[in-house]
Chains A and B, each alone.
Chain A
């Protein structure tokens, strides 16, 4: 069945350091993945996505890497800031009727930025 999970439930880094958050997925047929950030009391916020025909995609201070061989993706955050403190989820997309998507989320990793 579908399963998306994260290796670590918590991660603490020093402000200014780089963070790497990992995610494993089980559905080898998945072709679209998304990283979300969720702050306390808020809904998930889109960070970056990647399709299966890519290995790497970069955004502002964030990079997503996809390794289809081992069904693993990671989110790298450069020069972390206090505002990066949140729970990060990877999500795998399953196609529904007429092009819509059902997102299958992992459990999340809580990122804490230490001053």
Chain B
């Protein structure tokens, strides 16, 4: 499968714990995006990387959130001190013009 992959697919954690998600984009894509989707809503933009540089961050990305793309390939999204309001689907997308989305990581914070 040469599409965007994300791991884990599901994560259940207790409030206050840290979690990290991984995204592997389509290999030749230098643009990578993270979005968050809550139940019944459309995805909301979080952040954008071009190669290893994080060039745009949404105000939704509080200081508990950090994203990296150290070698311009895979990316990680870490949430520290999780809160129940962080429960959502976290989607990664890569592409040039068109954005190809991965299957997402569903986070549940108890």
Contacts and interface: CB of A to CB of B under 8 A. Distances in A.
Interface in B67-110: 91, 93, 97-104
Given A41-B103, A44-B101, A49-B98, A100 B42 contact: no
B42 A108 contact: yes
Contacts of A42: 103-104
A4 B45 CA distance: 13
Contact of A46 (B31, B99, B104): B99
Interface residues of B, number: 24
Interface residues of A, number: 24
Interface of A is mostly: strand
A37 B62 CA distance: 29
B4 A100 contact: no
Contacts of B97: 101
B56 A103 contact: no
Nearest to B42: A105
A13 to B, nearest CB: 21
Contacts of A29: none
A102 B104 CA distance: 18
Interface of B: 4, 31, 33, 35, 40-45, 48, 50, 55-56, 91, 93, 97-104
